[in-house]
């Protein structure tokens, strides 16, 4: 029989707050975290706004020399892991760290470091490139540094599937524990691509909002006036734990992880498959894995990017999977407040979904002002909603046609 898997620790680092309390309060009150970019000059860019993590101080988590040897995405990852471990009250000296793993998602990895060292190469020559360039830049280093920091000697791996990376990482964490290979996994994702190269690349794709004069209203998933996504940065790290292991140490449980499904569109490098066919299959697989029916789901944390086709096709996918129940299930987008955290998006969104299950509150989709006839579901517009949430799903859909869905259920102590 498969081992049961629960979530016992939450470590969000986001544009609306660091730590569970700040983050959840920001979501419930609909606080936007998007503003004009402050990290570098943006006057030459069509898009000048993003969801930056403005109050992150590496000195609060690392020795200064250690922080200098980590890209910003790795700093977020390790700091988020520390918050998650503390939230889980996980005593590291009392666990078998050979049965503790790290499975981390990132879509882009150390882009800040790559950009900086390329500049040094061109301006000052190859002799001045940092010896830490490669180990700071490579995408696996978030997982590697978490493993080193906390002595987790089980599998330590990275998952890269664009904007589905975190959700795929958590799906792999689920499978590791279900199969009895490990007891604890630090999982989720981290991303820090709000830098000149990252911004320029997405601007060149013409995929982002240019609502620079009203940044707090730029991310407006499912709204008729949406004009593109907004970049964000941060991390969402969680403690996944085998149920009996959590019970033995008296851990608080946020939710049970019931199912996971992933698919590929096999269609296009950026555009989703028509009518969200691949996303629909991922949701169906996750529900089957959880042994639940569509009618059992009370809430969907949508991918909801605020782009024309993603929102339209995700809506169609939900209708395909849920039929008439699609009009009764609550749907909301965390990205309306944070922007799109790319490879970290699934991690922060699963944290939000956990807290909805615990508190029976669904956070809103803010900036929903003008209904789109092609997006006609219940998107919990603008205000949080008290509602019983027994079972929920979270969707992540990535460039390259990657689709991933997780199913969470309220933990009833049994």
Q: Which of 178, 143, 394, 160 is nearest to 286 (CA)?
A: 394
Q: Which residue among 203, 245, 262, 340 is the active-site one? A: 340
Strands (E), 265-310: 299-301
d(CA 169, CA 173) in angstroms, rounded, equals: 6
Comparing CA positions, the residue from 190, 234, 218 lying closest to residue 337 is 218
Which residue among 163, 203, 354, 375 is the active-site one? 163
Separation of alpha carbons 372 and 301, rounded Å: 19
Catalytic residue (one of 245, 303, 363, 402):
303
Helix (H) or strand (E) holding 28: helix 20-28
Least Cα distance to 346 among 359, 333, 330 occurs for 333
Q: Catalytic annotation on 163?
A: yes
Quickly list DSSP for 69-127.
TS-HHHHHHHHHHHHHHHHTT--GGGS-GGGEEEEEE-SS-SHHHHHHHHHHHHHH-GG
Tokens 């906390």, located at residue: 150
Question: What is the pairing mode between strands 100-105 and 184-191?
Answer: parallel
Would you please indicate which residues are annotated as catalytic (active-site) residues?
Answer: 163, 303, 340
């Amino acid at each position: 029989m498969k081992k049961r898997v629960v979530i016992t620790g939450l470590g969000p680092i986001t544009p609306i707050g660091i730590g569970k309390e700040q983050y959840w309060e920001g979501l419930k009150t609909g606080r936007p975290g998007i503003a004009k970019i402050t990290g570098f000059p943006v006057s030459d860019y069509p898009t000048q706004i993003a969801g930056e993590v403005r109050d992150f101080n590496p000195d609060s988590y690392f020795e200064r020399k250690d922080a200098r040897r980590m890209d910003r995405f790795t700093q977020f990852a390790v700091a988020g892991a520390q918050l998650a471990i503390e939230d889980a009250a996980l005593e590291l000296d009392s666990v078998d760290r050979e049965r503790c793993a790290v499975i981390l998602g990132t879509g882009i990895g150390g882009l800040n470091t790559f950009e900086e060292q390329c500049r040094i190469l061109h301006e000052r020559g190859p002799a001045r490139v940092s010896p830490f360039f490669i180990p700071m830049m490579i995408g696996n280093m978030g997982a590697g540094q978490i493993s080193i920091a906390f002595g987790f000697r089980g599998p330590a791996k990275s998952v890269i599937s664009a904007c589905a990376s975190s959700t795929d990482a958590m799906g792999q964490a689920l499978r590791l524990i279900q199969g009895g290979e490990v007891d604890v996994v630090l999982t989720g994702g981290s991303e820090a691509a709000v830098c000149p190269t990252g911004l320029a690349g997405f601007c060149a794709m013409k995929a982002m909002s240019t609502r620079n004069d009203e940044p707090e209203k730029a991310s407006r998933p499912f709204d008729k006036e949406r004009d593109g996504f907004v970049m964000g940065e941060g991390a969402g790290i969680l403690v996944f734990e085998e149920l009996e292991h959590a019970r033995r140490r008296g851990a608080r449980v946020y939710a049970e992880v019931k199912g996971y499904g992933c698919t590929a569109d096999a269609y296009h490098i950026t555009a989703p498959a028509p009518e969200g066919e691949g996303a629909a299959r991922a949701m169906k697989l996750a529900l089957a894995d959880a042994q639940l029916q569509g009618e059992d789901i009370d809430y969907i944390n949508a991918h909801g990017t605020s782009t024309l086709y993603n929102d339209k096709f995700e809506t169609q996918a939900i209708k395909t999977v849920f039929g008439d129940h699609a009009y009764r299930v609550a749907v909301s987008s965390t990205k309306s407040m944070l922007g799109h955290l790319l490879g970290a998006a699934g991690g922060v969104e699963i944290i939000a979904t956990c807290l909805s299950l615990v508190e029976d509150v669904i956070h809103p989709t803010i900036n929903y002002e003008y209904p789109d006839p092609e997006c006609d579901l219940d998107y919990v517009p603008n205000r949080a909603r008290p509602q019983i949430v027994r079972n929920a799903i979270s969707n992540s859909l990535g460039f390259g046609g990657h689709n991933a869905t997780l199913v969470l259920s309220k933990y009833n102590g049994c």
